[in-house]
Structure 1
Amino acid sequence: MLPYLIAASPSLLFGTFSLILGRWQGDDRQKVFGIFAGAFLTALVATPFLGAKWSPQIVIISFISGVSAFIGIRDQTRCLRVLGVSRTMPISTGLQLVAASLAGVVLMGEWRGAGAMPVGLVAIAMLVAGVWLTSRREKGAEGDQLDWRLGARLLATSTVGLVGFLVIVQYFGISGRDAMLPQAVGYGLAALVLTSPRIMRDGDGRDTRWSRATIPFMVAGVLWAIAILVLMITSSMVGVATGFTLAQLGVILSTLGGIWWLGEHRTRRELIWTLAGLALVVAGAFVVGYAKSLDV
């Protein structure tokens, strides 16, 4: 039981991560730069204890994976501002699970075990239905006034980035221990360059990254990096499918916290749709995990 409880702990960190971004004040540049500064420092401290082994291929592929993580977190962070935490996170989680599952089937030959494909297709259907329900809004309500066109674009690009972060290293058979620091160099360098005022245009054009407002978001980056590290370690204890599935449970905390702690408004109908969609996304995550387990 203890390994499973530990394997579920990243979900609390991921859920808290998104709530911090929604709660604390700062512009997008400060949030993104702070996240990756904190994550880079965490990787730097943790790596000497991981027994990592590197080759030129591992370093290059992991670096590319880290840049992909930057794109994913940057656009997810921006989407939190555009759509809110309680709308972004269940949709984002569902889309990531669908995209990661399809990538596993196409690129890595997953779901080839007896019964895995039908179960996996049921899981995808549940996830798609959950995403649709979560994104529904009542005409004329507050949610109907949000910039859904921009939100949809950010959800698409963040999904590609975050799924790429995981799938790229899996495709080349690189362990999380070996990938962690080169990934950190990738997203750290991307954050340093791509959050500059010349490229990431927010506010009045001043470089706001080097201020006190950035420090709290470094805490969020530490939480994200620790969650990735714990997920990497516990996956070897409970299995990759189970560990990945349990890590998605943070969507419950972020969605409900966004509504009741951050005060993101829902009409009565929208609340019912959101809760039903959230239940489908969580259930779909477990069915995805079950489909993966059938490959063993």
Structure 2
Amino acid sequence: MGIIWALITAVCWGSIVLVSEKLGGDFHSQTFGMTLGALLFSLVAFFIVQPDLNMAVFAIGVVSGIFWVIGQRNQFASVDYLGVSKIVPLSTGMQLFGTTLFGVLVFHEWKTTTEIMIGLAAICAIVAGALLTSRRSKKGNEKDNQNFKKGITILLISTVGYVTYVVIIRWFEVNGWQAILPQAIGMFLGALVMSLKHKPFNKYSVRNILTGLIWSTGNLTLLLALPLIGIATSFSLSQTGIIISTLGGIFILGEKRSKKEIIWVISGCVLIILGGVMLGFTKS
């Protein structure tokens, strides 16, 4: 069941950047709108399930949510420099490396030699696929190179936020239902503080409530998957949604890629799917 939860997360999260770009707005209003949607979702879910909460769990959830804002806000910001079809694969590779490093070295989630060999091969396939989808067929001009460097720098900050958001919940063994409301509160407060001077209250933030609802669904299924199949496997499987956003950036948003680059993108997506399937075997 854990693998199914993680794959639902992949579909939800793989659609977020694509949907948000279609809805419009800058990264401030996009992030703020997402947190509004997440807060609404979590309030409804909390009153339906009514999980037990204490101050420690609440604080952990809020901190996790703040780190998520750092991750999501900077991912949206990096799209302005490189586009969806390049940023999402690179972001995926960075997140996979960080979360897997924690999952294996800190939480010891791969115990047998077979699990380690399959897991490492799977991660290599996913990261190679992510790099292949972002490969360029020709050298860019000076402006392109500057944009690439800026985009990568912002993505590094984004990765720290995303990885910490996932790891802190796993570290303190907080379950999904307990975390969902405190996380959303942390997300909302973090987005409000970071975006207040940019006037995020506009029609685009209202539109992006939809992306918050989509994200929340994926977040909940990921949190449910973590205790069942571990952080390395669940988070890696959740990132296979890269296929949706990468191909969507090219064919729906109309981002320009050469025929050779499109072949690389499709090949990279195949590698990512293969890696996701292999990761499933590490917990079979």
TM-score (normalised: structure 2): 0.89
SS of the residue aligned with 2:200?
coil
SS of the residue aligned with 1:263?
coil
Task: Please name the residue that 1:286 is paired with.
Answer: 277
Structure with bigger helix share is: 2
- Output the amino acid matched with 1:221: G
Distance change in 2, residues 1:162/1:110 (3 Å): same
Q: Is the 8 A contact 2:103 2:109 kept in 1?
A: yes
Paired with 2:255 and 2:108, the residues of 1 have a C-alpha distance of 41
- Output the amino acid matched with 1:45: V
Task: Please name the residue that 1:167 is paired with.
Answer: 167
Sequence identity (%)? 35
SS of the residue aligned with 2:196?
coil
Residue ranges of structure 1 left out of the alignment (5+ in a row) = 198-206
Paired with 1:247 and 1:120, the residues of 2 have a C-alpha distance of 15
Q: How does 1:207-246 map to 2 (within 5 A)?
A: 207-233=198-224, 239=229, 244=235, 246=237
Q: Is the 8 A contact 1:35 1:222 kept in 2?
A: yes
**CA drift at 1:267:** 0.8
Paired with 1:50 and 1:10, the residues of 2 have a C-alpha distance of 20
Task: Please name the residue that 1:69 is paired with.
Answer: 68
Choose which of 244, 256, 266 in structure 2 pairs with 1:265: 256
Q: Is the 8 A contact 2:137 2:261 kept in 1?
A: yes
Q: Is the 8 A contact 1:17 1:223 kept in 2?
A: yes
Q: How does 1:99-138 map to 2 (within 5 A)?
A: 99-138=98-137
SS of the residue aligned with 1:209?
coil
**CA drift at 1:123:** 2.1
- Output the amino acid matched with 2:79: L
Structure 1 window deviating more from structure 2 (172-181 vs 111-120): it is 111-120
- Output the amino acid matched with 2:136: R
- Output the amino acid matched with 1:127: I
Paired with 1:258 and 1:246, the residues of 2 have a C-alpha distance of 21
**CA drift at 1:249:** 3.2
**CA drift at 1:4:** 6.9
Task: Please name the residue that 1:187 is paired with.
Answer: 187
Distance change in 2, residues 1:268/1:213 (3 Å): same
- Output the amino acid matched with 1:259: I
SS of the residue aligned with 2:37?
helix
Structure 1 residue 250 corresponds to structure 2 residue 241: yes
Residue ranges of structure 2 left out of the alignment (5+ in a row) = none
Paired with 2:218 and 2:45, the residues of 1 have a C-alpha distance of 12
Paired with 2:8 and 2:64, the residues of 1 have a C-alpha distance of 24
- Output the amino acid matched with 1:41: L
Task: Please name the residue that 2:266 is paired with.
Answer: 275
TM-score (normalised: structure 1): 0.85
For each residue in 1:69-112, what CA deviation from the matched residue of structure 2 results, as whole angstroms up to 9, or x when unmatched? Answer: 11111111112222111112222222222221111012211211
Structure 1 residue 176 corresponds to structure 2 residue 176: yes
SS of the residue aligned with 1:109?
coil
Moved runs in structure 1, 4+ residues, more than 4 A? 2-7, 233-236, 238-246
Tell me the matched-pair count.
282
| Structural RMSD (CA) | 2.6
Q: Is the 8 A contact 2:81 2:151 kept in 1?
A: yes
Paired with 1:140 and 1:274, the residues of 2 have a C-alpha distance of 17
Paired with 2:236 and 2:8, the residues of 1 have a C-alpha distance of 12
Paired with 1:3 and 1:135, the residues of 2 have a C-alpha distance of 30
